[in-house]
């Protein structure tokens, strides 16, 4: 569709700052042929290992995959894993002069063992503690230098200690004219009061609103309206997995249907959503259109194993394969 082509072309104009928890994703790939005689667990014969940029770095990767410009801000440890993460950012042409090296901590790592396209186990190595005063000063210096470069700031919150009220205060002071977006963890939702948009999933939204989820549409709408009012949000996007998305905007509830064909792995789908919406808004695309494109992009990445991205050609291909009635319902927004 020509309309979608033109919208995707605009993403090259995006200038987005991503702030949050940097994570190195470590994948161990293998095969399972037998159960261990020592315990009732599978024995994985390793065939290869790989590393990917995770956490807020995956948000940045998704923006680059759409040809947008992105800079990243976060903390890594002074170790080989931090250096590996920086090399992955450099390889993908992501500016990382906002990444601070903290010798007190280890770079956060998530190791996933995967056999026959299935997760066998995940091992997390992480420390969560508040940055010290010197780290905040380095953040302030970076933001001061970049204050006129970005019209959208995305907070990718994995609740690992980087995003807190003090950091938000510094960001708001330096980016007064930018749109603020956040993919929040439940406990941190109050931090994002007055934001232009937050993007929790259904479970997170229900927990944050303190509303029992009985699986009804009414429950989700009540939660959405409560979050909008309680935290003075301009807009709210609730991702709903196989049920698509719910966008609360301008006193309306717009339900965007799911586009997924096959689901192999939901890892990072939320990163893809906020990355695509942020890049779309930064490019001058409306919120509703950005959300529809984000849902298309998410439907692409869940069909891949591991943290993944969607390029414009894949998004177009997914659109072309949509059910005719779904297309017709969405075209009025595009």
Place of tokens 């009985």: 214
> What's the Cα-to-Cα distance from 101 to each of 76, 96, 98, 127, 237, rounded to whole Å?
5, 11, 10, 14, 33
First-to-last CA distance in the chain? 10
Burial class for 5, CB neighbours closer than 10 Å (0-12, 13-18, 19+): exposed
d(CA 229, CA 37): 57
Report which DSSP code applies to 45. Answer: E
Q: Based on the residue annotation, tell me whether 271 is a catalytic residue of this protein.
A: yes
Are β-strands 108-115 and 118-125 bridged in parallel, bridged antiparallel, or unpaired?
A: antiparallel
Are β-strands 245-249 and 252-256 bridged in parallel, bridged antiparallel, or unpaired?
A: antiparallel
User: Residue 181: CB partners within 8 Å, gap ≥ 6?
Assistant: 152, 153, 154, 155, 195, 196, 197, 198, 199, 274, 277, 278, 281
Phi-psi bin for 241: left (phi > 0), alpha (psi -120 to 50), beta?
left
Place of tokens 């002069």: 97
d(CA 120, CA 122): 7
Q: Which two tokens stand for residue 233?
A: 């949000």
Q: Which two tokens stand for residue 191?
A: 């931090």
Are β-strands 108-115 and 42-55 bridged in parallel, bridged antiparallel, or unpaired?
A: unpaired
Burial class for 80, CB neighbours closer than 10 Å (0-12, 13-18, 19+): exposed
Query: Of the residues 21, 25, 157, 271, which is catalytic?
Result: 271
Q: Which residues are catalytic?
A: 271
């Amino acid at each position: 569709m020509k309309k979608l082509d033109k919208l995707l072309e605009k993403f090259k104009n995006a200038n987005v700052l991503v702030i949050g928890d940097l994570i190195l994703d470590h994948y161990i790939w293998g095969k399972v042929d037998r159960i261990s005689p020592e315990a009732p667990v599978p024995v994985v014969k390793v065939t290869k290992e790989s590393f990917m940029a995770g956490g807020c770095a995956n948000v940045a990767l998704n923006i680059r995959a759409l040809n947008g410009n992105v800079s990243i801000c976060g903390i890594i440890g002074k170790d080989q894993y931090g250096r590996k993460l920086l090399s992955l950012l450099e390889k993908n042409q992501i500016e990382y002069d906002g990444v601070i090296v903290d010798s007190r901590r280890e770079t956060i790592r998530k190791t996933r063992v995967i056999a026959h396209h299935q997760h066998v186990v995940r091992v997390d190595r992480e420390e969560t503690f508040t940055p010290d005063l010197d780290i905040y000063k380095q953040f302030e210096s970076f933001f001061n230098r970049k204050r006129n470069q970005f019209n959208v700031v995305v907070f990718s919150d994995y609740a690992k200690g980087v995003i807190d009220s003090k950091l938000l205060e510094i960001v708001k002071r330096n980016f007064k004219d930018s749109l603020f977006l956040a993919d929040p963890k439940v406990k941190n939702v109050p931090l994002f009061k007055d934001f232009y948009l937050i993007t929790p999933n259904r479970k997170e939204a229900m927990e944050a609103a303190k509303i029992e989820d009985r699986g009804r549409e009414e429950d989700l709408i009540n939660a959405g309206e409560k979050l909008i009012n309680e935290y003075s949000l301009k807009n709210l996007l609730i991702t709903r997995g196989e049920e698509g998305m719910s966008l609360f905007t301008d006193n309306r509830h717009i339900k965007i249907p799911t586009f997924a064909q096959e689901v192999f792995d939901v890892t990072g789908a939320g990163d893809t959503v906020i990355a695509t919406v942020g890049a779309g808004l930064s490019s001058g695309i409306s919120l509703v259109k950005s959300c529809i494109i984000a849902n298309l992009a998410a439907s692409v990445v869940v069909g891949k194993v591991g943290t993944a991205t969607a390029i414009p050609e894949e998004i177009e291909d997914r659109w072309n394969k949509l059910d005719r009635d779904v297309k017709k319902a969405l075209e009025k927004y595009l």
